């Protein structure tokens, strides 16, 4: 990256860092079960809600407990279940019309990050009916109070129940972009482990690695606070203690509960301290090829950590100690290597590879452009890279010839 752009990025990031204490961040109020939702709605005299989810979640019957709970409390509901893996502008338009046509009063995002992103973007369109999502792209462009938004994560990974971001894919161009503003933070997060029990092992693993990526990128960045560092460390500890159990024994309610807590802590960390190039690259791959976000993060994470080199060895040592991989007396380089190797070992145990087979070489300049545009100057990464430097990472993600 040329010196002028590098200087601009660092000045931009430092302004945000010093403004952190003045910004209206908040954490959602936690509800421990879907059975607590009617009380929240009844306090506001709400009796008609829109549930935004996806067809897979609904076919597994995961919404049934919520539906029965609402019925018993005489709360009407409508379900939009067409959300796709990387939610599109079409999804948001369809959900918006369902909300308005049925005079709904609140939105419940039920599912993984895609359903919650769709719910957030729908709420934003309700608050600002005369603006398109593209006009809200970027940071601090909503400014208005959204309808009551309740998030119910069915995966322990995205952290979307805590964040001020909604990531949407333009249905025509397939460009994936983020909308970031404080009103997008849900008012309530329902951390109910029972809704995660049906999650298949591989999805459990990739979403858990997604949470790990959130925690790690938040921790190694340059805009941390004591609070976000603690959140990130708590998330890393819980993931290393519980992800293997949740993967091998999906009915272990305690492991599932702890993974939801880990995802929540990681979400609180990166909402304030942001993520980095792992996410920027993963978002470009999700937009272009529909690669699941958690899977992309898991594949990319150790590669980017190695690329950062010595700039993060001390921080990785702290993460290694927290993960129980070594004691606090281990030297930085050795401990950092242990942490990266532990991530690689996790990937092997969970059947996660090192490549993204969908990548087409001719697409790499465009992909790198989008990653550069997303990350710079916003993400306070340890080492700055421009589009040309990011291209080399995409090439490393291509399977070797004969290994597709």
pLDDT-derived band at 242, boundaries 50, 70, 90:
very high
At 178 the pLDDT is 86
Rounded Cα distance, 133 and 117, in Å: 12
19 in a structural domain = no
Phi, psi (deg, nearest 5) at residue 318: -60, -40
- pLDDT tens by residue, 176-201: 888 999 999 999 999 999 999 888 99
Mean pLDDT of all residues in the chain?
Answer: 95
Which CATH number is 180's domain given? 3.40.50.1970
Pairing label, strands 165-169, 176-180: antiparallel
Do residues 239 and 299 share a domain? yes
Q: Is the Cβ–Cβ distance between 110 and 50 less than 8 Å?
A: no
In this structure, the dihedral spanned by the alpha carbons of residues 167, 172, 174 and 180, taken in order and rounded to 10 degrees, is -20
Residues in the chain: 404
Which CATH number is 224's domain given? 1.20.1090.10
10 in a structural domain = no
Do residues 158 and 252 share a domain? no
Do residues 211 and 184 share a domain? no
At 403 the pLDDT is 58
The token pair that represents 356 in the structure block? 């993204």
31 in a structural domain = yes
Query: Which residues, at least 6 apart from 204, have a Cβ–Cβ distance to it below 8 Å?
Result: 155, 156, 196, 243, 246, 247, 250, 259
* Domain span holding position 205: 199-395
Do residues 205 and 242 share a domain? yes
Residue 83 DSSP SS3: coil
Number of other residues whose CB lies within 10 A of the CB of residue 24: 9
Phi, psi (deg, nearest 5) at residue 86: -120, 95
- The proportion of the chain whose per-residue pLDDT surpasses 90, expressed as a percent, equals 85
43 in a structural domain = yes
Number of other residues whose CB lies within 10 A of the CB of residue 227: 15
Do residues 53 and 158 share a domain? yes
The token pair that represents 52 in the structure block? 């935004």
In this structure, the dihedral spanned by the alpha carbons of residues 173, 175, 176 and 178, taken in order and rounded to 10 degrees, is -100
In this structure, the dihedral spanned by the alpha carbons of residues 158, 120, 161 and 220, taken in order and rounded to 10 degrees, is 50
Query: Of 91, 7, 24, 89, which is closest to residue 55 (Cα–Cα)?
Result: 91
Alpha-carbon distances of 229 from 111, 142, 265, 370, rounded to whole Å: 27, 28, 10, 28
| Helical spans, DSSP H, in 323-386 | 332-349, 364-375
15 in a structural domain = no
- Reply yes or no on whether the pLDDT at 404 is more than 60: no
Of 166, 193, 220, the one marking the end of a domain is 193
Q: Is the Cβ–Cβ distance between 305 and 216 less than 8 Å?
A: yes
Q: How many CA atoms lie within 13 A of 214 on its CB side?
A: 33
- pLDDT tens by residue, 8-51: 999 999 998 998 888 888 999 999 999 999 999 999 999 999 99
At 86 the pLDDT is 84
Q: Is the Cβ–Cβ distance between 276 and 220 less than 8 Å?
A: yes
Residue owning tokens 């990050």: 113
Of 193, 219, 237, the one marking the end of a domain is 193
Rounded Cα distance, 8 and 33, in Å: 46
Do residues 239 and 159 share a domain? no
At 60 the pLDDT is 86
Q: Is the Cβ–Cβ distance between 280 and 296 less than 8 Å?
A: no
Do residues 325 and 203 share a domain? yes
Q: What is the mean pLDDT of residues 153-169?
A: 91
Do residues 44 and 178 share a domain? yes
Do residues 299 and 281 share a domain? yes
- pLDDT tens by residue, 369-382: 999 999 999 999 99
Highest mean pLDDT: which range of 154-158, 165-169, 330-334: 330-334
370 in a structural domain = yes
2 in a structural domain = no
- pLDDT tens by residue, 42-80: 999 999 999 999 999 999 888 999 999 999 999 999 999
Query: Which residues, at least 6 apart from 97, have a Cβ–Cβ distance to it below 8 Å?
Result: none
Do residues 332 and 351 share a domain? yes
Of 193, 218, 237, the one marking the end of a domain is 193
Q: Radius of gyration (Cα) for the chain, nearest Å?
A: 20
22 in a structural domain = no
Do residues 232 and 129 share a domain? no
Do residues 172 and 220 share a domain? no
Domain tally for the chain?
2
């Amino acid at each position: 990256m040329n010196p002028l752009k590098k200087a601009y990025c660092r000045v931009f990031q430092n302004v945000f860092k010093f403004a952190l204490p003045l910004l209206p961040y908040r954490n959602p109020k936690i509800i421990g079960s879907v059975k607590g939702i009617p009380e929240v709605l009844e306090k506001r005299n709400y009796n008609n809600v829109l549930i935004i989810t996806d067809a897979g979640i609904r076919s597994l019957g995961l919404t049934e407990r919520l539906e029965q709970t609402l019925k018993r409390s005489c709360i009407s509901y409508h379900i939009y279940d067409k959300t796709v893996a990387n939610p599109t502008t079409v999804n948001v338009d369809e959900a918006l019309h369902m909300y308005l046509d049925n005079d709904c009063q609140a939105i419940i995002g039920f599912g993984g990050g895609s359903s919650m992103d769709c719910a957030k973007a729908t709420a934003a369109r309700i608050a600002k009916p005369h603006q398109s999502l593209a006009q809200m792209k970027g940071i601090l462009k909503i400014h208005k109070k959204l309808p009551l938004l309740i998030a119910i994560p069915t995966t322990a990974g995205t952290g979307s129940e805590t964040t001020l971001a909604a990531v949407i894919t333009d249905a025509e161009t397939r460009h994936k972009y983020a909308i970031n503003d404080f009103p997008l933070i849900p008012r309530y997060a329902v951390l109910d482990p029972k809704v995660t029990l049906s999650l298949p092992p591989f999805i459990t693993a990739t979403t858990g690695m997604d949470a790990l990526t959130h925690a790690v990128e938040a921790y190694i960045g340059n805009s941390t606070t004591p609070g976000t560092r603690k959140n990130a460390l708590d998330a890393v500890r819980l993931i290393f203690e519980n992800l293997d159990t949740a993967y091998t024994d999906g009915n272990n309610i305690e492991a599932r509960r702890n993974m939801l807590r880990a995802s929540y802590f990681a979400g609180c960390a990166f909402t304030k301290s942001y993520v980095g190039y792992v996410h920027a690259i993963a978002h470009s791959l999700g937009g272009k090829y529909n690669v699941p976000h958690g899977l992309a993060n898991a594949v990319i994470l150790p590669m980017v950590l190695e690329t950062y080199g010595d700039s993060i060895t001390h921080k990785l040592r702290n993460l290694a100690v927290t993960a129980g991989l070594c004691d606090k007396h281990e030297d930085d380089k050795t401990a950092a290597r242990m942490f990266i190797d532990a991530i690689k070992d996790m990937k092997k145990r969970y059947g996660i590879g090192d490549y993204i087979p969908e990548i087409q070489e001719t697409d790499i300049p465009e992909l790198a452009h989008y990653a550069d545009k997303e990350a710079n100057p916003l993400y306070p990464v340890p080492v700055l890279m421009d589009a040309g430097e990011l291209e080399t990472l995409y090439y490393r993600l291509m399977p070797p010839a004969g290994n597709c």
